[in-house]
Structure 1
């Protein structure tokens, strides 16, 4: 897949399914079941391939590199050429992150693109630019890696734009802040990369402001809704996109409230409450158990309008 094909493929729904945990460990059989569901339930227009991302909402921050490697391997082996695989990388320690990319890039079916997560710890914006430019160029040249950067901190904005413009290996930005940041990001990145909306399926306002594609943590429950939002946005049928968004909005409110406190938990609870047997929520993940009973009741009500989109 060349760079132009990659950018076109990312103007889509980037599904971010939860990693399935059982007995405190990753249930790889359940993971394969959920990946098969997402690949088979594809409602994207024009025969486009499903994009699957193993990212923060999946809980990659809570698993080691060995498990991240195995998840990428198993997902890639299942997907083959029937999808686009995005693997999120926590960039610190930076040397270990690079070693993980080398291992993933050497897989029989490697990721198509790597999502650089927000850097943790103390750092300067100048340091961010210097280290990540070197990082992207090193592994872009040695491994053929292409990258997106997950933009969460406004202070980093100018350096992120520089990274996209200065490295041929950084394909764009996933905006994880708010819609007001989209127009200037689109303008400044220009033709050097893609700007993707990264805060869920309520993405139409961002699309109207110039972003392309969006991330979805709810696609494992209602893929047709998420896909049809993107289908409508691509032909600028924003009324239809907003109409579908309205059905998913109450559930998204729960996921993103109070600093995204139930971003993972709400999804697995919705999967459990749905009763669908073609997806598996597991038993709750590290630091992310099933939500309290009062939140569960709200989730049950919120998902009623979208169950028909399963």
Structure 2
């Protein structure tokens, strides 16, 4: 993994996304967002593009747009573990604080796994097209009641062709798939606490970076319902700390066993502990300790992948 080159690649992606975000904002037909939400109550950008925490979508709608407004956000994120690296970039458009359209791009550096597969320098690239609609509640207006804000979302994920195609085909995993989720976000404004619960129907292996589903060895190839939980505490009006938990399907484990790998393709839940800071209403910076569990443990000595995550979001 070339860590010294990563900041330069990330900066280049950020320069490309900001003009796109500006163009999207200009092209939208309604009034620009000029008031904005309370700091950090709209979440940040997930590694998949939707508004929420770092690894799980919330029921909030991305950007600074409130009712009657349109807005746009762009983000750049980087996660580093002992053996892997992930760069995520994307944009989201918020309409009337009710609809969200998002696009995320992920570049996963396979590190030691690619080398042991005879594919040194292998990067897995994935595009994620998302949509979300708020169907009930309002996080701010209902903050003094028990009613949460509820949203329904969909994410279509497409993994680019790579040297891993033959392996995924042998395991019976597809390179594209669609997740559907329901999120409920409750803001206790007086206490400065935000709680989110998401239930996701998915076939994705490691968020889709290892394809979707598996058929080898009679592995379960249907949708599974995976829970995701986020809790954040507003230390001040512009600083929040919290944690996230996201369960993952384990569809490749049985397929891996049938291929003679034992538990070598086992997947674990993703977790993080984060701090988010909003120096202004248009900028938020997030840092986190991440635990992705085991990612292809057959090539990493069954080691849990822990490390750091940093993200910058620009929202208007």
* TM-score, normalised by the number of residues in structure 1: 0.28
- Name the structure, 1 or 2, with higher relative contact order (CA <8 Å, separation 6+): 1
Structure that is richer in strand per residue: 2
Q: Which has the larger radius of gyration?
A: 2
Structure that is richer in helix per residue: 1
